[in-house]
Amino acid sequence: MQINIQSLQFKATEPLETYVRQKVEKLAHINAQIISGDVILKLDNSDVNENKVCEIQVHIPGNNLFAKRQCRSFEEATNEAVDALQEQLLKRKKD
């Protein structure tokens, strides 16, 4: 699975990109038909501590799945977005 990571308004570190890539790659264990994933990491312009945003779009033949989470850290936002996508994939698998 090909994973594209973009970081907006900041430069993502190599360990952060590796962490995100590993988490998103785990989705392929649920559905082997996943073609690619697009991840956008960005900072929300607010005074709130939870200003790290992770958006993940997964491309599957005939459908795309999307999750967006905002948390205190990019790692936490990534975990929550991947969890949401896992739920969507499992629900889709049952149908």
- List pLDDT tens digits, range 28-69: 999 889 999 999 999 988 777 889 999 999 999 988 999 999
DSSP secondary structure, 16-83, as one string: HHHHHHHHHHGGGGT-TT--EEEEEEEE--SSSS--EEEEEEEEETTEEEEEEEEESSHHHHHHHHHH
Q: What is the CATH number of the domain that holds 82?
A: 3.30.160.100
pTM beyond 0.85, yes or no: yes
73: containing domain:
2-94
How many domains, in total, are found in the chain? Answer: 1
